[in-house]
Amino acid sequence: MITLKSEREIEMMHEAGKLLAATHREIAKMIKPGITTWEIEEFVEKFLKEHGATPEQKGYQGYKYATCASVNDEICHGFPQKKALKEGDIVTIDMVVRLNGALADSAWTYGVGEISKDAQRLLDVTKESLYKGIAAATVGNRLGDIGHAIQSYAEGEKFSVVRDFTGHGIGESMHEDPTVLHYGKPGKGARLKEGMVITIEPMLNAGTWHMKMDRNNWTARTADGQLSAQYEHTIAITKNGPIILTEQ
Ligand code: MF3
Ligand code: CO
């Protein structure tokens, strides 16, 4: 069941989202060769606490950490590690913030030091594909329009779109209806209505979209070992167009 949110609820989620965006901006300053994703994890815990917020992922379905930290060929749900990042790596940090009861969810991929041209292009196209998906998230459009906008652009740039993980509704809990596919056909799927709050979170791979699951049963990585990137925003669908809740 898709629940529609009131203006007040959306404002509260926006406050959580602004704090999440600020957290990402702090992480951006920290990322350099030699840092570990464990240090980022500890920073996030402390920063959220200082701002009266909590990391919603910690304890979610047995997940143990505030952040997911997915390096290079890891698609998503990587565990924070005490291993140093090195020049040329890419790392996706994904987190969900709860502030005054309201949730927001956002992931960014960061380059560590100088990264290759190919890696930078993957990051740029992945971010742009998210914004193309957001632009399609207007009242009266359908979910398939979002997926199609992402897929047609990403595949046109010769990257593949991960199928095994999706965006989702978000509200009282982190994962609600609807499921938001990052591929699809225009004009198909549920109609978008004012008051829907969803995440759009395309994961793009340099090679095949197929994945393999690690033995920890959480971390997904590309089947061919090539790079994967992700950008995610939480957005509200309003009569004035989509509002990104996890930016300024
Ligand atoms: N933030 C993720 C999402 O985009 C969820 C992470 S799963 C968790 O849907 F278990 F780590 F929380
Ligand atoms: Co997320």
Q: pLDDT (tens digit, 9 = 90+) per residue, 177-207?
A: 999 999 999 999 999 999 999 999 999 999 9
Mean pLDDT calculated for residue range 114-131 = 99
CA distances from 176 to 4, 102, 150, 151 (A): 11, 14, 21, 23
Q: Which two tokens stand for residue 179?
A: 């499921």
Residue 28 C-alpha from the chain's centroid: 15
Q: Which of 174, 201, 231 should be mutated for ligand 1, with most atoms under 8 A from CB?
A: 174
- Ligand 1 atom nearest 175 alpha carbon: 9
Is the model's pLDDT at 248 over the cut of 90?
no
- Ligand 1 atom nearest 94 alpha carbon: 1
Is the model's pLDDT at 176 over the cut of 90?
yes
What does the pLDDT read at residue 228?
99
Give residue 176 CA to ligand 2 midpoint distance, Å.
13
Within 13 Å, how many C-alpha atoms sit on residue 177's CB side?
Answer: 9
What does the pLDDT read at residue 26?
98
Mean pLDDT calculated for residue range 157-176 = 98
Is the distance from the beta carbon of residue 201 to the nearest atom of ligand 1 less than 6 Å? yes
Residue 183 to residue 145: CA distance in whole angstroms: 9
Is the distance from the beta carbon of residue 106 to the nearest atom of ligand 1 less than 6 Å? no
What is the reported pTM?
0.98
H/E stretch holding 19 reads helix 7-30
Domains in the chain, please, with CATH?
A: 7-244 (3.90.230.10)
Average pLDDT, the chain: 98
Give residue 108 CA to ligand 2 midpoint distance, Å.
9
Is the model's pLDDT at 29 over the cut of 90?
yes
Q: Closest ligand to 59 CA?
A: 1
- Ligand 1 atom nearest 174 alpha carbon: 9
CA distances from 175 to 1, 39, 102, 111, 167 (A): 12, 27, 13, 28, 9
In total, the chain counts a number of residues equal to 248
In Å, the largest CA–CA distance within the chain is 48
Give residue 54 CA to ligand 2 midpoint distance, Å.
15
- Ligand 1 atom nearest 61 alpha carbon: 10
Is the model's pLDDT at 79 over the cut of 90?
yes
Q: Which two tokens stand for residue 63?
A: 């997940």
Is the distance from the beta carbon of residue 41 to the nearest atom of ligand 1 less than 6 Å? no
Is the distance from the beta carbon of residue 57 to the nearest atom of ligand 1 less than 6 Å? yes
Ramachandran region of residue 116, left (φ > 0), alpha (ψ -120 to 50) or beta? beta
Q: Closest ligand to 78 CA?
A: 1
Q: Partners of 212 in the beta sheet?
A: 221
Residue 39 to residue 80: CA distance in whole angstroms: 8
